[in-house]
């Protein structure tokens, strides 16, 4: 095993004689890798720039005031508090020196015997990075809080508006991207306006709010069967969402979006249209990438040329044994993280590595109250039972009993009372635009 | 009634023929004033720069990761959604023109017949405003989130520290101010370090953290009977908090505080030592003030010279009929807000105004798990039963059933599992210092 042998020399700088596994990222992949190594004689260091693991599938509910940030996050060092072979560091990766098996963090450099890169993806703007100011994405808790601030503040500004043009600007919401996140956001904003806020304003009628969902391709939820795309389209239309298909966004400004054939004036634009590899991954050397910058890994999840470096999660691009792309979903990331961990153990034991085999657990997306789509292999369910299944699956996979109870109660409350529990506007974050006619009053 | 007559002329600019009551501030006083006017033929506008009413007595629990922001806040327009004579505006006061009965907001100017100024107080630094960067206060949700970020990040930095000096800097916490907020913060941080985080770190021992509580005066909780000050001192000492009495802070920097006779190196300083009137109140004209800038109001809560302007809540300074200062407490603010509303109704009806009479509901402060002090007239209780009473009173007065359930469950969880549910670090806010050795990694 040349990789191990080579790196053992390097790691002699480390006091421990156990192989040192460095995991970058505490998302689904990093977490699974760390946990899968719990009972093996290795020394693990897990690094994340946040102090928490985030349950991204429910992030849109934080952005639309249904849940609090703490409900869907769990401190990483708490998750691993009982796993003595793992140390959590809240730090950030600057770059790599793969030849000497070293990763440079802000506060220190670490030598590794094995590296698992699970840094994930961020929101992508297809090269139009300046759009981020006007149309923030939804990948982190801070972004979710920012989206919530924008959505709730828009209604406040509409209430304060001086003329009907301004009112309409602030009562128009644009969601770009017809994947699950875009569909979920559009549905949740429509329900917020139609029901939750309906009685709260005196000057405006929040039920007159317009929600536009923009998709460049020919259908919503393109990863789902066509019948489910159609179902989502119909449900959203019924909820008052105006869905635009085959309309790529050509420009985004503080006052709205320009589409190929029309334009929409809006004070609040949310971006759920693309992903981009974490930019630190550019420092991993000359590896083939797709357009989003995701790394094309070997079937065993290692990168070409370096036998001790694995990539797992959304950052890894590969096709499974049947030639199908492994999707950017939480179950896939978890499986990849676990696979990387297993291969590390095999390599230490001198055994040959195995290719990653993706087990497709199906796919689901919620559209609104009592409405979701779910599929598993050839079975598709739409509507109420899909929604119940969605609720159950997300509760089960959410980490921590306290968070499960809290989320369950928030859902029950919202369902019964038609209210959202987290309609609180908190301050603007650094480096974000405030949209048009920003004042100091938020 | 000259006041009403005078202002009726002005308010003819308003389309409504009902008297227009403008309430500035949605804290306890503003809320009570608005609610007390619910059934009267007046037109009410309530203005707050935040979109929520905040239950400040529990704010320290957000700062120490026990509760989420949304648990102790309630959207103002939701609170008043069923009260059709009240309009909520999320806006900010710039200044007043009392002679024409006008208040200027960021987005518009409003004419009033009656004005209730309930803008409250902010954290005061006794003229050393530059200390705010190093030692933020605790009056808003955003400040609580900032404090939480600092406290949790300090442990992360200690874990990453390169030498024992740095470790000790980050494991030393200073709370300035021995009133209820300071006592509660110091106790909660000590418990976080001693219990909640005890197993989570690999390099540091969080139980070795030092918590210093600094009080300039001769005893803690000076508004309480002496025996309760002594009890709080003993309890905190037992919990490992080092209490410094008779030691005014003479300087605050990024690296610690200087006291009259010593200095403490610390990376995390929290300020709970003083209050200062909301600076907008300076525009209310030539009214006598105390050193904190609070307005000395007439016994009926009106300001001298203007018969249609009331001040209620922490911003109002007055002595009650027995000559005792009305304290800056939630029940006092509520009573004042209600009193101002009643006087407005009396004035409209042509009746004479009455002096404010404070009904003392007692005082309570929590020190830590199973430990609090409470007093009501001549009855004092310390310890477990005071703590149970504290829990019960705060649950009852917290607004909204959803929040009550959530807070109750969080408390039960923390109590049983020795865990805090909201240990999530979110991003730095604008205009705040990051303390020493700030990196991009938080």
> What is the pLDDT confidence band of residue B432, given thresholds at 50, 70 and 90?
very low
Does residue B197 lie in a domain region? yes
Q: Are residues A168 and A242 in the same domain?
A: yes
A430 with B428: Cβ contact below 8 A: yes
Give the minimum alpha-carbon distance from B67 to chain A in angstroms, rounded to a whole number. Answer: 9
- Do residues A48 and B160 make contact, with C-beta atoms less than 8 angstroms apart? no
In this structure, the answer to whether residues B162 and B103 fall within a common structural domain is: no
Q: Is B165 within the bounds of a domain? A: yes
Mean pLDDT over residues B240-266, rounded?
Answer: 96
Between CA A163 and CA B252 the distance in angstroms is 49
Q: Is B16 on the interface with A (CB under 8 A)?
A: no
Statement to judge: residues A251 and A302 lie in one domain: no
Using a CB-CB distance cutoff of 8 angstroms, which residues of chain B are in contact with residue A94?
Answer: none
The answer to whether the CB atoms of A423 and B199 lie below 8 A apart is: no
Residues of A in contact with B78 (CB under 8 A): 200, 419, 423
CA distance B65 to chain A (A): 9
Together in a domain, A145 and A100:
no
Q: Sort out which chain A residues have CB atoms less than 8 A from B402's CB and list them.
A: 410, 413, 417, 419, 421
**Same structural domain, B287 and B214:** no
Are B196 and B282 in the same domain?
no
pLDDT at res. B399: 84
How far is residue B97's CA from residue A109's CA, in Å, rounded to a whole number?
A: 61
pLDDT range class, residue B43, cuts 50, 70, 90: very high
pLDDT for res B428: 54
**B81 close to A (CB below 8 A):** yes
The answer to whether residues B137 and B247 belong to one domain is yes
- Greater confidence (B267 vs A1) lies with B267
pLDDT score recorded for residue B16? 59
CB neighbourhood size of B287 (10 A): 17
Closest CA to A77 of B201, B167, B426, B441: B201
Q: Establish if A56 belongs to a structural domain.
A: no
Q: What is the pLDDT of residues A112-165, one digit of tens each?
A: 999 999 999 999 999 999 999 999 999 999 999 999 999 999 999 999 999 999
Kindly report the nearest CA distance between residue A47 and chain B, in angstroms: 11
User: Taking the mean position of all CA atoms in its chain, how far away is CA A16?
Assistant: 35
| Nearest-5° Cα angle at B440, B434 to B442 | 70
Which contiguous run of DSSP H or E holds residue A210? strand A210-214
What span, in angstroms and rounded, lies between the C-alpha atoms of A323 and A325?
A: 7
Does a structural domain hold residue A354? no
Alpha-carbon Rg of chain B, whole angstroms?
Answer: 23
Chosen domain end from B241, B273, B305: B273
Helix (H, G, I), strand (E, B) or coil at A415: helix
Cβ distance of B69 and A71 shorter than 8 Å: no
Longest dimension (CA), chain A: 73
**Quick one: A378 exposed, middle or buried, by C-beta within 10 A (0-12, 13-18, 19+)?**
exposed
Domain end position, chosen among A348, A378, A394: A348
Q: Do B424 and A52 touch (CB under 8 A)?
A: yes
Same domain (yes/no): A44, A102:
yes
- The residues that bridge with B172 in the sheet, in sequence order, are B210
Asked if B421 and A403 come within 8 Å (Cβ–Cβ), the reply is yes
pLDDT above 60 for B167: yes
Q: What is the mean pLDDT of residues B67-87?
A: 93
CATH of the domain at B254: 3.50.50.60
Contact B344, B351 (CB under 8 A): no
What pLDDT is stored for residue A177 in this prediction?
Answer: 97
Query: Which residues of chain A are within 8 Å of residue B424 when distances are taken between CB atoms?
Result: 51-52, 69-70, 73, 75, 141
pLDDT tens digits along A263-321: 999 999 999 998 999 888 888 888 999 999 999 999 999 999 899 999 999 999 999 87
Q: Is B226 exposed, middle or buried (0-12, 13-18, 19+ CB in 10 A)?
A: exposed
Whether residue A302 sits in one domain with residue A189: no
Report the distance separating Cα B384 and Cα B378, nearest Å: 19
Question: What residues of A are annotated to the active site?
Answer: 184
Q: Residue A420: closest CA among chain B residues belongs to which residue?
A: B402
Q: How many residues does chain B have?
A: 442
CA–CA gap between residue B266 and residue B169 (Å, rounded): 5
Element (H, E) at A122: strand A121-123
A96/A42 same-domain check: yes
Q: What is the pLDDT of residue A417?
A: 78
Dist. CA B210–CA B193, nearest whole Å: 9
Q: What secondary structure, in 3-state letters, does chain B show?
A: CHHHHHHHHHHCCCCCCCCEEEEECCCHHHHHHHHHCCCCCCEEEEEECCCEEECHHHHHHHHCCCCCHHHHEEEHHHHCCCCCCEEEEECCEEEEEHHHCEEEECCCEEECCEEEECCCEEECCCCCHHHHHCCCCCCCHHHHHHHHHHHHHHHHHHHHCCCHHHHHHHCEEEEECCCHHHHHHHHHHHHHHHHHCCCCCCCCCHHHCEEEEECCCCCCCCCCCHHHHHHHHHHHHHCCEEEECCCCEEEEECCEEEECCCEEECCEEEECCCEEECHHHHHHCCCCECCCCCEECCCCCECCCCCCEEECCCCEECECCCCCECCCCHHHHHHHHHHHHHHHHHHHCCCCCCCCCCCCCCEEEEEECCEEEEEECCEEEEEHHHHHHHHHHHHHHCCCHHHHHHHHHHHHHHHHHCCCCCCCCCCCECCCCCCCCCCCCC
Contact A424 B199 (CB under 8 A): no
Given A51, A203, A424, which is nearest B156 (Cβ)? A51
Which pLDDT tens digit goes with each residue over B282-291? 888 889 999 9
Residue A344 and residue A195 in one domain: no
B138 within domain boundaries: yes
Interface check B202 vs A, CB under 8 A: yes
- Structural domain containing residue A403: 129-273+369-417
Evaluate if residue B197 carries a pLDDT over 60. yes
- Count the domains in chain A: 2
| Residue B50 annotated in active site | no
From A87, A141, A160, residue closest to B426, measured CB to CB = A141
Q: What is the helix (H) or strand (E) element at residue A170, kind and residue range?
A: helix A164-170
Residue B111 located in a structural domain: yes
Closest in A422, A429, A441 to B92, CB measured: A441
Whether B426 and A69 lie within 8 Å, measured CB to CB: yes
A412 interface with B at CB cutoff 8 Å: no
* B174 and B256 housed in the same domain: yes
**Residue B426 pLDDT:** 81
Q: Which of B184, B247, B276, B307 is catalytic?
A: B184
The mean pLDDT value for A338-344 works out to 98
Residue among B89, B419, B430 minimizing CB distance to A160: B89
Q: How high is the mean pLDDT of chain B?
A: 90
A362: in domain: no
> What is the number of CB-based contacts under 8 A between chain A and chain B?
169
Residue B205 in contact with partner chain A when CB distance is under 8 A: no
Given a contact cutoff of 8 angstroms between Cβ atoms, the answer to whether B328 and B312 are in contact is no
| Structure tokens that stand for A30 in this block | 């990093």
Between B364 and A440, name the one with better pLDDT: B364
Do the Cβ atoms of B160 and A108 come within 8 Å? yes
B160 interfaces chain A, CB cutoff of 8 Å: yes
* Selection from B57, B276, B248, B272 nearest residue B173 by Cα: B272
Interface residue A263 vs chain B (CB under 8 A):
no
CB-based contact B73 A202, cutoff 8 Å: no
pLDDT of residue A419: 75
- Whether B431 is in a domain gets the answer no
Asked if A203 lies within 8 A of B87 by C-beta distance, the reply is: yes
Mean pLDDT over A200-226 rounds to: 96
Q: What is the CATH number of the domain that holds A154?
A: 3.50.50.100
- What predicted TM-score, i.e. pTM, was given to this entire model? 0.90
Of the candidates B258, B273, B288, which is a domain's last residue?
Answer: B273
Torsion of CA A283, A289, A294, A300, to 10 degrees: -90
């Amino acid at each position: 095993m040349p990789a191990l042998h080579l790196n053992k020399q390097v790691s002699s700088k480390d006091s421990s004689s156990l192989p040192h596994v460095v995991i970058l990222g505490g998302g689904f992949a990093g977490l699974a890798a760390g946990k899968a190594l719990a009972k093996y004689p290795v020394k693990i260091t897990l690094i994340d720039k946040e102090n928490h693991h985030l349950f991204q599938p429910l992030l849109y509910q934080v952005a639309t005031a249904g849940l609090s940030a703490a409900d869907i996050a769990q401190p990483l060092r708490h998750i691993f508090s009982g796993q003595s072979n793992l140390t959590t560091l809240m730090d950030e990766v600057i770059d790599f020196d793969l030849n000497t098996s070293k990763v440079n963090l802000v506060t220190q450099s670490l030598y590794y015997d094995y590296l698992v890169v699970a840094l994930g993806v961020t929101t992508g703007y297809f090269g139009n990075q300046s759009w981020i100011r006007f149309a923030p994405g939804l990948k982190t808790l801070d972004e979710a809080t920012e989206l919530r601030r924008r959505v709730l503040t828009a209604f406040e500004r509409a209430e304060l508006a001086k003329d009907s043009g301004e009112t309409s600007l602030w009562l128009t919401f644009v969601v770009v991207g017809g994947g699950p996140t875009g569909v979920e956001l559009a549905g949740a904003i429509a329900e917020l306006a139609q029901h939750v806020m309906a009685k709260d304003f005196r000057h405006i009628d929040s039920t007159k709010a317009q929600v536009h969902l923009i998709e460049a391709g020919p259908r919503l939820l393109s990863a789902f069967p066509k019948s489910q795309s159609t179902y989502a389209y119909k449900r959203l239309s019924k909820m008052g969402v105006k869905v635009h298909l085959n309309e790529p966004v050509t420009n985004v400004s503080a006052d709205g979006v320009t589409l190929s054939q029309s334009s929409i004036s809006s004070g609040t634009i949310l971006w759920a249209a693309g992903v981009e590899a974490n930019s630190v991954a550019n420092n991993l050397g000359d590896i083939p990438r797709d357009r989003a910058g995701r790394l094309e890994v070997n079937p065993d999840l290692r990168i070409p040329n370096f036998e001790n470096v694995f990539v797992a999660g959304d950052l890894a691009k590969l096709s499974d044994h049947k030639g199908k792309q492994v999707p950017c979903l939480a179950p896939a990331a978890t499986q990849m993280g676990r696979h990387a961990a297993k291969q590390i153990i095999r390599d230490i034991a001198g055994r040959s590595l195995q290719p990653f085999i993706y087990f497709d657990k199906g796919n689901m997306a919620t559209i609104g109250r009592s409405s979701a789509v779910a599929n598993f292999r050839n079975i598709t369910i739409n509507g109420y039972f899909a929604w119940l299944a969605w609720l159950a699956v997300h509760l089960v996979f959410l980490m921590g009993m306290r968070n499960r109870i809290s989320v369950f109660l928030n859902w029950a409350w919202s369902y019964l009372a038609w209210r959202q529990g987290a309609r609180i506007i908190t301050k603007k974050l650094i480096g974000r635009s405030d949209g048009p006619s920003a004042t100091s009053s938020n």
